[in-house]
Chain A
Amino acid sequence: MTMIFGVPLVVLTGQVMIGLINGSFYALLSLGLAVIFGLLRVVNFAHGAFYMLGAFAAWMLGQYLGLGYWPSLLLAPVLVGLVGALVERTMLRRLYDLDHLYGLLFTFGLALLLEGAFQHFYGASGKPFAAPAEMRGVIRTDFVTVPIYRGWVVVASLLICFGTWALIEKTKIGSYLRAATEDATLVQAFGVNVPLLLTLTYAFGCALAGVAGVLAAPIFQVSPTMGSNMIIIIFAVVVVGGMGSILGAIATGYLLGVVEGLTKVFYPEAANIVIFVIMAIVLLLRPAGLFGKEN
């Protein structure tokens, strides 16, 4: 058996694989957070709750309507996006002119409300969610073993991340969004419906969290607290990467996922906190974050 640093290669690649899967979720979620923050200047604390909502929506679609994984993967994010749009239209909108901290506090309240409600109605324990039948196998090669579903998660999240990047950088609506991020008043003067753009952006960010939730459901089970555990890590990821760039958010997400996976091999006790330690080091050396600009 091949060994690297006294660790069997299969174990090492296995953990890198797990790191990539976690990194996929970190990337998807911090991407959504960055898109929302870029335009709305709101740090969406409810992002974890929308991630949980996505997983629950998929579970409910299966439970009550008998829909399979694939239709849910499309439908659940749309539902989460609609909830996001509703929240933005009715409440979040009133806070744009105030200090950004109020947006953070509002979405924190929203996260508590959603988490508490789901815990009340569905209990604290996780609900099993089966991976689609065609993805239940495992791919085995000499140096790595990958369950097919997990491989799919990595591929899907890469596709969605770069799709989002292309949407923002290469399309007309993306150029509106980038322009509005620079100067919303001016863009509005050119006749772009900025309030609608804000709603769509928030809904889109929430839908990204929803997709991550559906992808995560077969891996982590569906539980009300899955979001709050995630959001704090995502905040650390965002502080490390800086919220300035889309690609930066994606890259930092995968990078930290892999680092976390490797820590599990070499020093398991620190696996929970390694991301926070990295955050502390980055704060000391580069307070604005790896890809951030200090403003």
Chain B
Amino acid sequence: MIEAEEFETVAETTRPHRRQQFVVVALIALLMLLPLWIYPVLLMKLMCFALFASAFNLLLGYGGLLSFGHAAFFGGSAYVTAHALKVWEVNPEFAILAGVAAALVLGLIMGLLAVRRQGIYFAMVTLALAQMFYFFCLQAPFTHGEDGIQGFSRGRLFGVIDLSDSNVLYYVIAIVFVASIFAIWRIVHSPYGMVLQAIRENEQRAISLGYSVQRYKLGAFVMSAGFAGLAGGLKAILFQFATLTDVNWHMSGEVILMTLLGGIGSIAGPIVGAGLVVTLQNYFATTGFPVTTALGATFIVCVLLFRRGIVGEFRHRFATRKKS
């Protein structure tokens, strides 16, 4: 397990302080106003990846399990959502539900196999299973191989709200995003989340206390897959395509980097990290510098110099100053 010291130790309080509540409300208000100044499509992309990273962090940060295969859920759900919109011609809410359902099933299958091993083996098993899914997507007829699924409309939410207007879609995605982050926060602070963190800290003791550790881990894996699927489905609707890029192992690596850079084991960390990585990618895409190399270098710097991540480092400094 990754050392306890680098995590927020078991979430201190179940109920947020008044000041925290104020900050959260202010942030949500800001989120609603942001499209006045910033291009909404970029913001929506950020939210999709922030949700993806938060889903990943639910597993790594609170369950202590490093998955190298989360692209399968993200990209798999994107494919199913796109397919449902294009071929089945259902409303977008059902398309996303189908995508999430697919991610959950996939998560259950992969999870059942992966939780049989721990630590680095867990990482290697998830990577290999996700690669298997990648080859499946490469060959299955409904994904259209290298072309991907494209050329469908976003449809009307509940048959009424037209999502082709990006300003409308922005608020839909923002609401889903805030609700999902809240749900993840609730899961982490629920009795279930406490047991999960106990397992992360000391698996043997949790077993001796009578918890069926594997079932808790599997639960975290499946939930994490579900949220990752939600993020993937939203992204498919946003960009109106689903391609092999989303199921590739590079995507699994990116989400790890987002979480690591922002800070493992905090709610804000993955959101900050996703924002940074997406901005970084956009920036390096405009210069001639290869994006993959930039990401690799960020990874190395992160692992060597600040393993707590940006939010974690900030919090650590703040906490030590308070103590002295």
Q: A residues touching B (Cβ–Cβ < 8 Å)?
A: 43, 91, 94-95, 98-102, 104-106, 108-117, 119-120, 228, 232, 235-236, 238-239, 269, 272-273, 276-277, 279-280, 283-284, 287
- Report the bound CA distance from A108 to B249 in whole Å: 11
Residue contact A232 to B113, C-beta cutoff 8 Å: no
Question: By CB atoms of chain B within 10 A, which of A238, A284, A287 has the most?
Answer: A287
Q: Which of B223-253 contact A (CB under 8 A)?
A: 249-250, 253
Interfacial chain A residues near B120, Cβ < 8 Å:
43, 100-101, 104
Decide yes or no whether B116 CB sits under 8 A from chain A.
yes
Picked from B135, B250, B303, the residue with its CB within 8 Å of the CB of A102 is B303
Q: Known interface pairs A112-B299, A238-B124. Does A276 touch B132 (Cβ–Cβ under 8 Å)? A: yes
Residue contact A109 to B297, C-beta cutoff 8 Å: yes
Interfacial chain B residues near A272, Cβ < 8 Å:
135, 138-139
Q: A273-B135, A283-B113 are in contact. List 16 more A-B contacts (CB 8 A).
A: A43-B123, A95-B303, A98-B307, A105-B303, A108-B299, A109-B295, A109-B297, A109-B300, A113-B293, A232-B128, A235-B124, A239-B121, A239-B128, A272-B135, A279-B125, A283-B117
Interfacial chain B residues near A110, Cβ < 8 Å:
296, 300
- Report the bound CA distance from A102 to B297 in whole Å: 15
Decide yes or no whether B136 CB sits under 8 A from chain A.
yes
B131 nearest in chain A by CB position: A232
Picked from A114, A279, A287, the residue with its CB within 8 Å of the CB of B128 is A279
Residue contact A109 to B127, C-beta cutoff 8 Å: no
Interfacial chain A residues near B3, Cβ < 8 Å:
98-99
- Report the bound CA distance from A232 to B125 in whole Å: 10
Interface size on B, residues (CB 8 A): 43
Q: How near does chain B come to A267, taking the closest CB pair, in angstroms?
A: 13
Q: Known interface pairs A100-B119, A112-B253. Does A119 touch B299 (Cβ–Cβ under 8 Å)? A: no
A235 nearest in chain B by CB position: B124
Interfacial chain B residues near A94, Cβ < 8 Å:
304
Residue contact A112 to B295, C-beta cutoff 8 Å: yes
- Report the bound CA distance from A102 to B301 in whole Å: 12
Residue contact B132 to A287, C-beta cutoff 8 Å: no
Residue contact B299 to A105, C-beta cutoff 8 Å: yes
- Report the bound CA distance from A43 to B3 in whole Å: 18
Question: By CB atoms of chain A within 10 A, which of B117, B132, B298, B307 has the most?
Answer: B132
Residue contact A109 to B299, C-beta cutoff 8 Å: yes
Residue contact A280 to B292, C-beta cutoff 8 Å: no
Q: How near does chain A come to B89, taking the closest CB pair, in angstroms?
A: 30
Closest 9 CB pairs of A and B: A109-B299, A116-B292, A113-B296, A112-B296, A116-B293, A276-B132, A120-B290, A236-B128, A235-B124
Picked from A102, A119, A269, the residue with its CB within 8 Å of the CB of B290 is A119
B295 nearest in chain A by CB position: A112
Q: How near does chain A come to B252, taking the closest CB pair, in angstroms?
A: 10
Interfacial chain A residues near B119, Cβ < 8 Å:
100-101
Residue contact A109 to B128, C-beta cutoff 8 Å: no
A49 nearest in chain B by CB position: B296
